[in-house]
């Protein structure tokens, strides 16, 4: 079986999602960035490789503020965060007109007129949406994690990954 891998490396967390050829999400995992983004990514990939052979991953895409930690020789496709968010959401909710994304480095509001076919309006707030370091452990920003998960990740991935309180240890979930 062949798989595709999506990776988002932000300023607070690194996340990955593995899908099969039918588009079914098989594995979702997240790692809080405590030391550096590369360490978090290596932890995610190690856990993934315990269940899925790397040679069966035929394509991979990466987005996020720290996407530069991916070695160029891997030839992973780089995507802007707004394109990755819009593409993923529209795949499952083609009727969506507005996307609100709250991240650790920026917040985005993306207004879609005709899916990905026409240019969109993107408003960005360059201020950190979460305080770096303590980030998602802050109670005022706890809702942001739930909102981002709801808006960005496919419903199948959300259903397989029960919500946990901010600051709780995260563990991978298989669907």
**pLDDT value at residue 106:** 74
Tokens describing residue 12? 């607070």
Residue 106 CB partners (closer than 8 Å, separation 6+): 124, 125, 126, 127, 128, 129
Q: What is the pLDDT of residues 33-63, one digit of tens each?
A: 998 899 999 999 999 999 999 889 988 888 8
**pLDDT value at residue 39:** 92
- DSSP structure class, residue 76: P
Average pLDDT over residues 114-139: 64
Cβ 66 vs Cβ 11: under 8 Å: yes
Considering the domain 3-166, what is its CATH architecture? 2-Layer Sandwich (3.30)
Model confidence, pTM: 0.64
Average pLDDT over residues 22-40: 91
Q: What is the pLDDT of residues 63-81, one digit of tens each?
A: 887 777 777 777 788 888 7
* H or E element, residue 91: helix 81-92
């Amino acid at each position: 079986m062949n798989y595709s891998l999506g990776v988002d490396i932000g300023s607070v967390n690194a996340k990955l999602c593995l899908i099969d050829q039918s588009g079914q999400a098989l594995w979702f995992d997240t790692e809080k960035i405590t030391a550096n983004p590369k360490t978090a990514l290596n932890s995610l990939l190690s856990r993934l490789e315990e269940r899925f052979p790397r040679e069966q991953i035929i394509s991979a895409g990466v987005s996020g503020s720290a996407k530069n930690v991916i070695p160029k020789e891997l030839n992973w496709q780089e995507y802007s965060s707004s394109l990755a968010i819009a593409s993923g959401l529209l795949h499952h909710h083609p009727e969506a007109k507005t996307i609100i994304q709250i991240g650790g480095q920026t917040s985005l509001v993306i207004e879609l007129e005709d899916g990905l076919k026409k240019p969109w309006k993107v408003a960005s707030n360059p201020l950190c949406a979460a305080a770096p370091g303590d980030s998602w452990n802050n109670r005022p920003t706890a809702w942001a994690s739930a909102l981002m998960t709801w808006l960005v990740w496919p419903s199948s991935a959300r259903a397989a990954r029960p919500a946990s309180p901010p600051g709780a240890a995260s563990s991978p979930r298989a669907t």
